[in-house]
Structure 1
Amino acid sequence: MNNFYTVLVVDDEMLIRQGIIHYVDWETNGYQIVGEAANGKEAIKKIEQLEPQILLTDIVMPSMDGIELIQFVKKHYPAMEIIVLSSYEEFDYVRKTFQLGVADYILKPKLNEKEILTTLDKLISKRTNLQQEEVSISMDDVVRKLIHGYQTIREFNYLRDVLQEKTISLIEVFTKPDTELHLSKRKLCALFERMNLPISVNEISIENYSKLFLLYTKEQNSMIEAQKAIEKISGTFKMTIGEPFSETSKMKEIYEAIERTKRFHFFLPDKRILYTNHLPNATDPTFLFDFNHFTHLVKHRQIEQAYSYINEYIENITETYAMEVHEFQSWLGNICFNMIVLVDNMDLNTEKLEENKYNYLKKVNDAFDVQEAVTVYQELIAEVKELLLTNVASPPMIEQLLQYIDENYQEPLTLEDLANHFHFNPSYLSSYFSKQMNQGFNEYLHKTRIEQAKNLLKKHEISISSISEKIGYSDPSYFTKVFKKMEGISPRQYRRKVVDAK
């Protein structure tokens, strides 16, 4: 047993927390880190559980900032000493924290072992009310340091002695954000006890929504049985089981293999449990994504083709595991962002789409697996298609379409010709035209041609076949069929009717 001053570290940046925790030789200097938190709310829970003597906290944090946390601590734990971590631009906040009773502050740009220990030692020399407490070496803390490569020789030797001549297994369990992770050390111990398996369990919190379980036993067969039993545990969480090992020095290597497996969990959403030594091979994608082609499709409003092109590429990435999770999320987020920018340049009413832009990016970045990420993109595609169909800025476009038809009806005009001329997707143009005109493109084209035919039929010198050709029908019999369908009589009967009327 050793006497230490106990410290809780609070900062929303994980790298800063890890740096403070692992780069300072705390115990040699008489201190021990008893916990960490990412914001004020988490810190309060840890304070109530651990009651540290010293609080080392950032000021600007989400959920509950440092000011609120300091106010809470000074009200409920007045004896606790507080040191503030601050950036240069946060000095107004620092001034306020001194008014609340903090002991000192450290500028983040100067954050190093010497600065931290000097500030703490100065605090201890001024405060006679702080007494060192007896704190034993924590197995969980030592494992956490070892897998991140920060352990001291003393800690490594301690872990080696505990795990000597034992079969060891690391198992990581994680779940979706905002979903409670129900699997615990207590449940695993109860399971192994029912099975009469001599397995010891340690539970290490790695980050929010993720736990690492350290299992160890003297009986190798018991570890095999334990892993099989764990596979049968039901729940919404995902699990990675590392290859069993016996040398403590391999723990960091095994943990890194577990972390690499997260890529496969992401691209295999239906697989709940993966073993690090039974993974599919990651290969290069069979084709490269052409961003210019994607841009061309969106600019020409060929949204369905753009969607299909994206899907084809995602399927290829999913089959080859060719990207890390953060790379895929960054790529898809970039696709979503550029899709919105391109649509915004189409002179449409994109106010709602613009409001949702960063929400789409956040959803992609927070996606638990590839299915969730693709669902976000599908939502965006649906919103873009709806926008193109219903946008209030579209009447000038319908006028251009009608003018083009009026000027070219005598040509063999098709919907595809019109779509190509105005850079529309034919399917979209068909829906758009019908919505604006309450009739389809072909119906409108026939009406335009038949109206022109009626004018020409009043002139006796022009034959029926010539009229058919002049208004865009190459087949006179087809012209007659369309005319009779729309007017109820044939072109010849219509001409006689006009003559009789005169």
Structure 2
Amino acid sequence: MKKNNVLRKSGVFQTSDLDTHPHPSENIDAAYTARWGDLLYEGNSRVFLDEIFQYLNGLCAKGNLDYQFLHTFWRQFQQVVMNVLWQKRLDGENMLPLLSMGENAQSLQETKDAISAIAAQFEQHNLPKDEKDELVKQIEKYVDQHLEQPLTVSDVAESMYMNADYLSRLFKSKKGISLKEYIVTEKMHAAQIFLQTTNLPISIIASKLGYDNFSYFSQVYRKVMGVSPTSEKKK
């Protein structure tokens, strides 16, 4: 029962809940795998992820998702990936750890994470330079518009239907700093403006920028700006 809890639901499980006749794991319809392969080949990762996650979520809603099915699904999905690698004449060495990650997945979320990472690898090969530059601009715009939230790299990536690791690597290659560092720096620059131009208490400024822990905010501010928020306000 624990092994089949691929949704990682919490709760009390009793032996009477055990399904002694689990559904047979069936092969995925070839129409689905062909469609996913086409999307992956074209580099259309957003639609690819939307459709494949919708497929998995649909099975989940019907109660047809267990550990055995996830691994049956992954064997067929892996074949789709290998076919696209061959069609595009790409070296699959960087893909092997990601395929292994999916093979060893113990939950639906771990499987989805592996799929997202694979899509990001293909996108890296398909995305032209000007589109990468545009993507970085979109990232900067999103961060600027959401500074008052407890923003993370995953939040930014999720909003763009992209893999967080790939997005952070891309951003660092273009801007010279990681996306995580950029988010923190932008928040501290915004805090500096509040400290210098308003009479708001420091605790309120911290809260406005998504920091509920005043002490932690002060530590981060000092690390980034070189002075404490109190000293900045006195200036």
Hey, which of these two has a bigger chunk of strand by percent? 1
Q: In structure 1, how many angstroms separate the alpha carbons of the residues matched to 2:151 and 2:234? A: 30
- Counterpart code for 1:312: W
Quote the offset at 1:465 in angstroms.
0.5
Q: In structure 1, how many angstroms separate the alpha carbons of the residues matched to 2:203 and 2:81? A: 58
Q: Which residue of 1 aligns with 2:227?
A: 489
Describe the superposition over 1:316-375 as per-residue Cα deviations: whole angstroms up to 9, x where unpaired: 9xxxxxxxxxxxxxx759952xx89xxxxxxxxxxxxxxx64xx4xxxxxxxxxxxxxxx
Q: In structure 2, how many angstroms separate the alpha carbons of the residues matched to 1:437 and 1:422? A: 18
Q: Which residue of 1 aligns with 2:27?
A: 288
Contact 1:389 1:428 in 2 (8 A): no
Aligned pairs for 1:175-324 within 5 A: 286-289=25-28, 290-291=32-33, 299-300=45-46, 312-314=74-76
Q: In structure 1, how many angstroms separate the alpha carbons of the residues matched to 2:201 and 2:94? A: 55
Rg (Cα) greater in structure: 1
Secondary structure in structure 2 of the residue aligned to 1:472: coil
In the superposition, the TM-score normalised over structure 1's length comes to 0.28
Q: In structure 2, how many angstroms separate the alpha carbons of the residues matched to 1:429 and 1:389? A: 12
Question: What residue ranges of structure 1 are gaps of 5+ in the alignment?
Answer: 1-284, 317-330, 341-355, 361-375, 498-502
Q: In structure 1, how many angstroms separate the alpha carbons of the residues matched to 2:128 and 2:73? A: 25
- Counterpart code for 2:45: K
In the superposition, the TM-score normalised over structure 2's length comes to 0.55
Q: Which residue of 2 aligns with 1:378?
A: 92
Q: Which residue of 1 aligns with 2:173?
A: 435
**Which of residues 170, 185, 194 is equivalent to 1:456?**
194
Contact 2:27 2:73 in 1 (8 A): no
Quote the offset at 1:425 in angstroms.
1.2
**Which of residues 147, 154, 162 is equivalent to 1:416?**
154
Question: What residue ranges of structure 2 are gaps of 5+ in the alignment?
Answer: 1-23, 54-69, 97-120
Secondary structure in structure 1 of the residue aligned to 2:190: helix
Q: In structure 1, how many angstroms separate the alpha carbons of the residues matched to 2:186 and 2:94? A: 37
- The count of corresponding residues between Structure 1 and Structure 2 is 162
Describe the superposition over 1:375-404 as per-residue Cα deviations: whole angstroms up to 9, x where unpaired: x78269597364257744311111111011
Q: In structure 1, how many angstroms separate the alpha carbons of the residues matched to 2:138 and 2:177? A: 17
Hey, which of these two has a bigger chunk of helix by percent? 2
- Counterpart code for 2:143: I
Give me the CA root mean square deviation: 4.1
Q: Which residue of 2 aligns with 1:398?
A: 136
Q: In structure 2, how many angstroms separate the alpha carbons of the residues matched to 1:310 and 1:440? A: 37
Contact 1:294 1:309 in 2 (8 A): no
Q: In structure 2, how many angstroms separate the alpha carbons of the residues matched to 1:485 and 1:455? A: 17
Q: In structure 2, how many angstroms separate the alpha carbons of the residues matched to 1:402 and 1:443? A: 12
Q: In structure 1, how many angstroms separate the alpha carbons of the residues matched to 2:146 and 2:38? A: 30
Secondary structure in structure 2 of the residue aligned to 1:474: coil
Secondary structure in structure 2 of the residue aligned to 1:433: helix
Q: In structure 1, how many angstroms separate the alpha carbons of the residues matched to 2:213 and 2:175? A: 27
Contact 1:450 1:483 in 2 (8 A): yes
Quote the offset at 1:405 in angstroms.
0.6
- Counterpart code for 1:299: S
* Residues 1:481 and 1:294: Cα distance change in structure 2 (over 3 Å): farther
Q: In structure 2, how many angstroms separate the alpha carbons of the residues matched to 1:424 and 1:310? A: 25
Quote the offset at 1:295 in angstroms.
7.2
> What percentage of residue pairs aligned between the two structures are identical?
23
Quote the offset at 1:450 in angstroms.
0.9
Task: Answer yes or no: is 1:467 the counterpart of 2:200.
Answer: no
